[in-house]
Amino acid sequence: MKSLKKFVESPYVNIIIGLILLLSGLNEAWDTLSEDIMNGNFGSRHGVIIFGFFHVLKSIHEMFEGFEYMTKE
């Protein structure tokens, strides 16, 4: 159970998952992204893009937080 928790909470795993979500959402919506935004035609692919983007940001923050902790000691 400890190894599963360590894997799930790993910032490296989370950044990879976030990038996969971000890139797959962009792949789905890229052709019509500007049209969808202008027309207000939002779908699940747009939510995946936003979720993936914030997942990546959260993971980057966690990694830098860990680096700061390591350099203080």
pLDDT tens-digit profile of 40-60? 888 888 889 999 999 999 989
Give the residue extent of every domain in the chain.
2-72
pLDDT of the chain along its 73 residues, tens only?
888 888 888 888 989 999 999 999 888 888 888 888 888 888 888 889 999 999 999 989 888 888 888 888 6
What pLDDT is stored for residue 73 in this prediction?
64
pTM of the model: 0.74
Residue 21 confidence (pLDDT): 92
Spell out the residues 6+ positions from residue 47 whose beta carbon is closer than 8 angstroms to its own.
Answer: 25
pLDDT (0 to 100) of residue 51: 93
pLDDT at 52: 93
